[in-house]
């Protein structure tokens, strides 16, 4: 993984008049005063040091003491916040967005009809919410031994190894050889064996990404893109792509971008109120991916939870229950409560139990669990109930049992 503190650009005063010559680059750990000032802004749980990175030519941030997984390393107030001048939904005083998750909430119009009321902050008449106490929080996703460098991912770790390396090479000028990249690349080479098949595989990956990007774009712009392709046809094309790359073998379910494509299709299906394919693809795309914890896992599981909640609210006399293979209401409820319980646990570890995001997830779960009769998550009785429900639901969705979640009792 790349270092958490990338190198900064500095300009030598002797070369400041040379418009044609490149500016020299120096890692900012050489500026002791700057490092001291930066560390003063951080409220750290352990002593931090900035020095030469052990994995790049830049600067690195190190912990002088061991820190356990899922702990806050430090928090700080940003020195500055950049706002795009063309973004009209951001308040330039309090830096809050006037658009929330449910639509427009700024001074503009909602749905092009009536004015939306806003709650003014102390310095403007635009922002709906205002908080000057913005903080950057850095938490550990794994244990960091004393003296080790804190690292972050410069790209989405859910990307395929080839895509990650391509972005890192193009934008950060190095080829990543972290453990994750090495393991994934070795697995691909073992399956594909030849350069020719590897090249065909990468082209198929690009085709799948393009297919899903176009599907999302068209679905989001039906007023200007009436030629929306039926989702079953898109799903068929996806299956065709995945069958050719590894023929005669099957495309591994955890190889990206197949999990991403399945999650994407699940969202498109549920937006069309087609629950059955949405639930099946949502379970396959989330549970059969490499991502098994961390921030992305929480976010993707929340997308799956929205589908499960819809499934849990199917009327008892729904025609879906006439299909003996479809999960019963009891099984659907059990897996919904269990998964939500698991998401609450992981969100607290990853984002912190006092973060607004975690509190929102836990509040939603609390309201949901109020309706549940009998055993509650965290008990042995519920663990048995969950195991039975998950086994039935995963069998219906075509997900092997080993990809299921385990609850602590």
Mean pLDDT to the nearest integer, 1-30 = 52
CA–CA dist 63, 44 (Å, integer): 10
Could you tell me what percent of the chain has a pLDDT over 90? 50
Indicate whether 12 pLDDT > 50.
no
Which is more confident, 331 or 120?
331
| Euclidean distance between CA atoms 3 and 407, whole angstroms | 34
Does residue 308 lie within any of the structural domains? yes
Q: So what's the pLDDT on residue 396?
A: 96
283 or 96: which carries more pLDDT confidence? 283
Q: Is residue 266 part of a domain?
A: no
The contacts found for 205-211 with CB under 8 angstroms, 24 or more apart, are: 205/160, 205/162, 205/163, 205/256, 205/257, 207/241, 208/238, 208/241, 208/242, 208/257, 208/258, 208/261, 209/257, 209/260, 211/237, 211/238, 211/241, 211/261
Residue 184 pLDDT greater than 80, yes or no? yes
Res. 99 pLDDT band, cuts 50 70 90: low
* pLDDT band of 93, cuts 50, 70, 90: low
Residue 178 has pLDDT above 90, yes or no: no
Q: Does 179 or 23 have the greater pLDDT score? A: 179
- State the Cα torsion 367-368-372-377 to the nearest 10°: -100
109 within a domain of the structure (yes/no): no
Query: Helix 161-172 vs helix 195-220: angle between axes, to the nearest 10 degrees?
Result: 80
Q: Is residue 58 domain-resident?
A: yes
Given a cut of 70, is residue 40 above it in pLDDT? yes
Whether 96 maps to a domain, the answer reads: no
Is the pLDDT at 10 greater than 70, yes or no? no
Q: Is residue 390 part of a domain?
A: yes
List the one residue out of 369, 368, 371, 407 whose CA is nearest residue 388: 407
Domain total of the chain:
2
Summarised one tens digit per residue, pLDDT across range 198-239 is 899 999 999 999 999 999 988 887 666 656 668 999 999 999
CB hemisphere CA count around 259 (13 angstroms): 23
| pLDDT at 123 > cutoff 90 | no
Specify the pLDDT at position 111.
35
* pLDDT tens string 190-209: 988 888 888 999 999 999 99
Cβ atoms of 167 and 191 closer than 8 Å: no
Phi (first) and psi of residue 36, to 5 degrees? -65, -40
Which CA distances in Å does 399 have to 106, 149, 165? 43, 38, 30
Residue 90 banded pLDDT, cuts 50, 70, 90: low
Residues counted in the chain: 409
Q: What is the pLDDT of residues 291-314, one digit of tens each?
A: 888 999 999 999 999 999 999 999
Residue 69 maps to a domain: yes
Residue 43 lies in a domain: yes
How confident is the model at residue 228, as a pLDDT? 65
Verify cis geometry, omega within 30 degrees of 0, for the bond prior to 368.
Answer: no
Residue 154 near residue 172, CB atoms below 8 Å = yes
Is the confidence at residue 365, as pLDDT, over 90?
yes
Query: Which of 120-129, 163-172, 342-351 shows the highest mean pLDDT?
Result: 342-351
Q: Work out the pLDDT band at 253, boundaries 50, 70, 90.
A: very high
Domain boundary among 150, 185, 202: 150
What is the per-residue burial (b if ≥16 Cβ within 10 Å, else e) of 250-263? Answer: ebebbbbbbbbbbb
From 119, 150, 181, the end of a domain falls on 150
Judge whether residue 279 has pLDDT over 90.
yes
Residue 115 pairs in a beta bridge with 109
Domain region containing 369: 291-409
Q: Which of 128, 150, 172 is the last residue of a domain?
A: 150
| Residue 88 CB neighbours (<10 A) | 12
pLDDT higher than 60, residue 114? no
Q: What is the CA radius of gyration of the chain?
A: 25
pLDDT of residue 15: 43
């Amino acid at each position: 993984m790349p270092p958490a503190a990338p190198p900064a650009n500095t300009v030598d005063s002797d070369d400041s008049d040379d418009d044609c010559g490149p500016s020299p680059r120096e890692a900012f750990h050489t500026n002791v005063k700057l490092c001291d000032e930066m560390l003063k802004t951080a409220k750290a749980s352990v002593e931090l040091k900035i020095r030469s990175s052990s994995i790049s030519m830049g600067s690195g941030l190190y912990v002088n003491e061991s820190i356990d997984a899922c702990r806050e390393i430090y928090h700080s107030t940003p020195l500055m916040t950049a706002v795009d001048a063309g973004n009209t939904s951001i308040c330039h005083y309090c830096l809050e967005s006037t658009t929330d998750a449910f639509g427009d909430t700024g001074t503009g119009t909602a749905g092009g009809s009536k004015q939306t009321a806003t709650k003014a902050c102390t310095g403007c008449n635009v922002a709906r919410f205002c908080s000057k106490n913005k903080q950057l929080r850095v938490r550990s996703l794994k244990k960091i031994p004393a003296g080790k460098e804190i690292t972050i991912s410069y790209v989405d770790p859910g990307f395929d190894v080839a895509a990650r390396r391509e972005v890192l090479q193009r934008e950060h000028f190095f080829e990543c050889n972290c453990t994750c990249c090495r393991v994934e690349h070795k697995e691909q080479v073992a399956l594909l064996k030849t350069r020719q098949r590897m090249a065909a595989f990468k082209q198929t990956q690009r085709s799948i990404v393009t297919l899903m990007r176009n599907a999302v774009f068209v679905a989001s712009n039906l007023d200007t893109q009436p030629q929306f392709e039926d989702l079953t046809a898109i799903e068929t094309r996806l299956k065709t792509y995945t069958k050719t790359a590894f023929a005669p073998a099957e495309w591994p379910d955890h190889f990206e971008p197949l999990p991403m494509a399945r999650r994407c299709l699940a969202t498109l299906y549920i937006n069309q109120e087609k629950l059955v394919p949405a639930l099946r693809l949502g379970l396959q795309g989330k549970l059969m991916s490499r991502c098994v914890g961390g921030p992305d896992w929480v976010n993707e599981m929340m997308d799956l939870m929205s589908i499960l909640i819809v499934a849990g609210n199917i009327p008892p006399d729904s025609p879906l229950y006439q299909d003996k293979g479809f999960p019963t209401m009891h099984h659907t409820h059990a897996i919904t409560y269990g998964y939500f319980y698991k998401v609450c646990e992981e969100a607290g570890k990853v984002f912190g139990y006092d973060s607004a995001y975690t509190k929102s997830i836990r509040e939603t779960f609390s309201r949901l669990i109020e309706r549940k009769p009998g055993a509650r998550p965290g008990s042995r009785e519920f663990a048995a109930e969950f195991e039975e429900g998950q086994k039935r639901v995963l069998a219906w969705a075509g997900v092997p049992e080993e990809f299921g979640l385990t609850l602590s009792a």
